[in-house]
Amino acid sequence: MSVNKINTSGRLAHVLVCVNQRRDSNLPCCADAGAEEVYQLLRAWIEDRGMLAKIWLTRTECLGWCTARGATVVINPGDHWYRAVTADDVPTLIERHLAPLAT
Ligand code: FES
């Protein structure tokens, strides 16, 4: 079997946003807690700066930190995990992690 390693040298950051929608469950999930809005706000900020090729943004399934209060977001480099992220929190995440990359 051949394994082809991807060259990620042009990537400055990788943001993962859980948008998981649980079905047939009473457990909370990010989709019901505003994850799509969080994703779209991050996407708009990155796209507006022409940085989609440098700041990767990925929708994910459950990351294991489900809550009804917001989405789970992971930002690399640095392995920064955030729980219960809402649209109101997005400016803080951008200021803390992404804005310094957009100089
Ligand atoms: S549903 Fe998002 S972390 Fe579990």
How far apart are the C-alpha atoms of 29 and 3, rounded to whole Å? 34
Domains contained in the chain, number: 1
pLDDT for 61-87, tens place per residue? 999 999 999 999 999 999 999 999 999
Give the position, in ligand 1's atom list, of the atom nearest the Cα of 63. Answer: 3
- Domain membership of residue 44 (yes or no) is yes
Whether residue 13 lies inside any domain: the answer is no
Q: Is the CB of 72 under 6 A from ligand 1?
A: yes
- Please state the pTM of the whole predicted model: 0.94
Ligand 1 pocket check for 62: Cβ under 6 Å: yes
Gap from CA of 80 to ligand 1 centroid (Å): 16
Interval between CA 2 and ligand 1 midpoint (Å) = 33
Domain that holds residue 91: 39-52+66-78+85-97
Evaluate whether residue 10 is within a structural domain: no
Q: Which three-class secondary structure state does DSSP give residue 57?
A: strand
Assigned domain for 72 exists: yes
Alpha-carbon torsion angle 3, 51, 15, 58, nearest 10:
-60
Tell me if 2 is assigned to some domain: no
User: Over 90: is that where the pLDDT of 52 sits?
Assistant: yes
Domain assignment present for 74:
yes
Average of per-residue pLDDT across 9-19 = 97
